[in-house]
Structure 1
Amino acid sequence: MPSNPPRAPRARTRSRLAVGALATALFGQLLAGNAVAVPSPQAPTATTSPTGRIAWEPCASPSGQGTFECATLKVPVDWKRPRGATIDLALARHRATDPERRIGSLLINPGGPGGSGVDFAFSAPDSFSPDLLARFDIVGFDPRGVGRSNPVKCDTDRVNAQEALLYPDSASSFAALREANRALGASCRDLTGPLVDHMDTGSVVRDMEAIRAGLGERRISYYGVSYGTAIGQQYAERYPHRVRAMTLDSNMDHSLGPWGFQKTEAAAVEESYGQFADWCARTPSCALHGRDARALFDALYQRADAGELVLPGDPPETVTPQDLQSFALGNLYDPAGWFDFARTLAELDAVKPAAARSLRKFGEPTEFPFYSVMCQDYDFNVSSYGTLARFERELARRSPVTRLSPLGWTVMTGCQDWPAEVTNPQRRLDVDGTPKILMTNSRFDPATPHSWGSNAARQIGREAVFLTYDGVGHGDYWLSPCARDAIDTYLLTLKTPRDGTHCPAVWPADAPSAQRKSPAGGLVNPLPDLLGTGTYGRTG
């Protein structure tokens, strides 16, 4: 998953923490394949051949590295009406560098909902090990409604109107949020067409099976991270005998109701921030070393709640509690950015109160698939503001430093009265007949909690092998050399680690010069950029 719902339109005018000489993104576009402020590259033009196979044509990646081919594949808008209207899915593949030893195709998805699988494939030369690049064609696709695959578009004013109401504080503001959600959903339908009512993960699974058939592969291998694990889990349910190998990294749990979703998300952020605070306490080069980082965050939150945390600028910008929570969440995705995170918190603490708010400028349609997926995959209906307020009080009691997860909270509030049917509601997984599935989760993952992965593995049962990375972050392949080696070995040989294996935590080196180096053998974590969240320290 979750990357995090939208913020792009506002972020264009109010996205920088300019404290002293440091310019650090405050929230950016939160997780997740959310609103996109720049147009996607032009979709490839090749499509299926007369034989039904995908007709690939040479194409170049933005970086110019690697040998790529691109194509499109027609799929029905509504799989219940396979002869009805269609859309074109955009695909890209990085050809195996050792074709004589090629195993097959490895389909990949970076999460979101809303991350571009095409861009993920384009990043393959920097993001995956030489062994995987040698033995697999790395195939990425933009899921329906995303990027180059008929993107869902919504009215930017409606996006921002909803965003302003995602944290209701009264029955009247909760009612206003419901109305804003209905209006936003209606604008998405008006600007996009009937596709917005067919964005559920079940439809994406059917698309992925069409891609397998178009590739001419009897079975496929798959690597999915974050929301990409939901696609993989449900593909394994529906097409167990089409799976050669499947790695699910940073797992979602599609069995959770509103309260279960909230309490696990809030606990994950609280525990992850606690790991950051403990790291600062033992790391002399951390800007907060010698200070209580938990107490500092609480003090900053209190100042933000009182309207007294204002950034200098022209005009000055008032930091809200929600801004602060989102900023913290984003910086917990990858500890490589913790030196910057600590410095920014210290500089925020040094800012003197002022009294001004930034102006906001809104605009035209923006790509915005997040809620169209999540609100068809989860029934998050809350009966009243009283119930919502009880949730908020209990979450703050359980997680007294960070209070709640802005990701978990806004997914729930943003889906209230969303004007589309919940076509793929929560349920336990029912997987039977696949080969072993390797599932991994960080012990302290701020977006997809460890409990989600362990619970999903229990639901899958004997087909699942669960590995825990004992550190902090989201996307184990790039956080842990141990996890990466286990994933590579499994995908290449089908040999899994023992169920219940643990990989040791990797912490940022005690030297600022090392702060942004990937611990995973020099590989670059593509998730932040793929999900519209910048380079480091924001959600992805």
Structure 2
Amino acid sequence: MRALGRPLTAAILTLTTLLGYAPQPALADRSVGAPPWITRHDAAAGPVNWSPCPEDESVQCGLMRVPVDWTAPLGPQIDVQLARSPAGDPAAKLGVLMVNPGGPGVSAVNLALDHAFFGAEVRRRFDIVGVDPRGVGRSAPILCDQGLVDAKPSPLFTTEADYRRTEEHNRRLAEDCGGRSGPVYEHADTVSVARDLEAVRLALGEERISFFGASYGTLLGQVYAERYPDRVRALVLDSVMDHSAGIDAFLSQTAEAAQGAFDQFVAWCARDDKCALRGRDIRAMWAELMRRAEAGRLPDPYDPPNLLGPWELVSAAFSAFYDPQWYSFAHYIEEAYTPAPAAPSALARRAVPLLEELTPHSFPAVICQDWWLPVDGFTGYRDRLRALAAHAPQMRVSPLALTAVAGCLGRAAAPVNPQRPIPRAAGPVLVVNSRYDPATAYPWAQQVARQLGPSARLLTYQGWGHVAYRHSECVSAAVDRYLLDLTLPADGATCPAVEPKPFGVG
């Protein structure tokens, strides 16, 4: 079970969050040629060197060399790692299914190694290929000082001094990560990842690919299909990033999604007699916990005697809503509200680690190159937080979205892949989203499907949690059917909600 008391752990890794917007030039019309940021050097990569994966010899692992900077294809190169799980029935194979689980920062190689994620027929008919995005996992990972990463200030600050400290921290972190990771740090944007994906397609000798992207992986799918529309057979976007959203829509729609997830938790507890808080005023209890957190008097119920601040408390809720883990979260609130007497800790925490430790940390490098998130200084940031709290009284913000916005404060470099209108799809696209996804707001799926045009179809899972494919057999069956024979659901199609079960119950 995920440790709910930890700030943004799996939640941040499975990202689904999106940010800002300033007016950007519209994409060039397809009828008059490709957009100016598209160049054609995508074959400037080496072959794939295959060998059995050490984790599972039935899956092939490979390395491919690609340019660090695709606009300088003869310059320095990096290795990207990929894994290929061969189709169970080669004679019936439909081709390659490229996969990406999102983050940014989650390994696509691990998804290809996971034989339980996709349905049996998909695994029988497709080679499933996962490419760790540059800077992530096994592909020239971006590494940073663990202590500096952990020293990130809470984004729920209310003073200009804290705003300046956050800017300075971001600059120090960028310098540290860039110095340790090399030039990949400045070339971790999703357009570069899409070009890596195209190089892999060429190396595999596939005329077209099918693609399944979840969470931040949906942005990769959109960018790839925009650049290479004639190379896409099928495109599934599950838990959708809206890369046309401006900063205010990004912050407000994600905060409303997080608050909606909290509201759904409260409603569930009122109807499920196994909820540990059944019959109690959860909102009043939560308000008291927030007061204690703000006063520095809230012990972490899962890690006493450490204290939780408001940011850690909200992040614990956000993380719990991903699955969702409602039963566990109800116990978490109960234990935090009435804590057991804490024995003195025998192990004092060190302010400075004895040895320098490094940690993978690609999130800000990717986000700050893919999004333009201006907040108009401290007053603009403060005013936005106040407006968000008025609409999301319990959650206040989306922790994932605010992490992205606050994490880009003070960065001098402009994003290379900022938001822009989403062009119409060249072929059929299946867009999927939970109605009560805490991370990728349901309106994002509606907005993306609308901009993709009549070739796109939105399938709504009427339940809860992030990445609908793994929460609903109805959704997974519809996705599998589309991948196998390109049959899209009917307009307005929905899948019924599936009530969460207690932890450990199948």
Q: With the length of structure 1 as denominator, give the TM-score of the two structures.
A: 0.83
Distance 1:52 1:156 in 2: 33
| Aligned position for 2:327 | 339
Shift of 1:30: 4.7
Distance 2:412 2:205 in 1: 38
Report matched runs for 1:135-534 at 5 Å: 135-161=125-151, 163-311=152-300, 316-335=305-324, 337-351=325-339, 360-362=351-353, 363-433=356-426, 435-509=427-501, 512=502, 515-517=503-505
**Once superposed, what is the RMSD of the aligned Cα atoms?**
2.5
| Aligned position for 1:86 | 77
Q: Counterpart of 1:29 in structure 2: which amino acid? A: T
Distance 1:143 1:51 in 2: 15
Distance 1:226 1:139 in 2: 17
CA contact (8 A) 1:245 1:436 kept: yes
Q: Counterpart of 1:156 in structure 2: which amino acid? A: Q
For residue 232 of structure 1, give the secondary structure of its aligned residue in structure 2: helix
Deviations 1:149-195 (A, max 9, x none): 0001122233233x125332211111111111111111111111111
Distance 1:113 1:442 in 2: 20
CA contact (8 A) 2:85 2:113 kept: yes
Deviations 1:84-119 (A, max 9, x none): 111111011111111111111100001000110111
Which of these residues, 113, 119, 122, is aligned with residue 122 of structure 1?
113
Structure 1: tracts of 5 or more residues without a match: 1-14, 18-23, 36-49, 519-540
CA contact (8 A) 2:189 2:416 kept: yes
| Aligned position for 1:27 | 7
Shift of 1:432: 4.1
For residue 137 of structure 1, give the secondary structure of its aligned residue in structure 2: strand
Distance 2:341 2:271 in 1: 31
CA contact (8 A) 2:11 2:322 kept: no
Distance 1:432 1:33 in 2: 28
Give the direction of change, closer, same or farther, for the CA distance of 1:127–1:361 in structure 2 (3 Å limit).
farther
Distance 1:165 1:350 in 2: 25
Distance 1:376 1:353 in 2: 47
Q: With the length of structure 2 as denominator, give the TM-score of the two structures.
A: 0.89
CA contact (8 A) 1:34 1:370 kept: no
Distance 1:372 1:51 in 2: 23
Shift of 1:56: 2.4
Give the direction of change, closer, same or farther, for the CA distance of 1:241–1:183 in structure 2 (3 Å limit).
same
| Aligned position for 1:532 | none
Distance 2:406 2:303 in 1: 32
CA contact (8 A) 1:395 1:404 kept: yes
| Aligned position for 1:7 | none
Deviations 1:215-235 (A, max 9, x none): 110000000000000000111
Distance 1:439 1:59 in 2: 32
Shift of 1:303: 1.7
Q: Counterpart of 1:56 in structure 2: which amino acid? A: W
For residue 409 of structure 1, give the secondary structure of its aligned residue in structure 2: helix
Shift of 1:314: 8.9
Shift of 1:416: 0.7
Report % sequence identity.
Answer: 43
| Aligned position for 2:19 | none
For residue 139 of structure 2, give the secondary structure of its aligned residue in structure 1: coil
For residue 462 of structure 1, give the secondary structure of its aligned residue in structure 2: coil
CA contact (8 A) 2:255 2:392 kept: yes
Aligned length: 474
CA contact (8 A) 1:34 1:368 kept: no
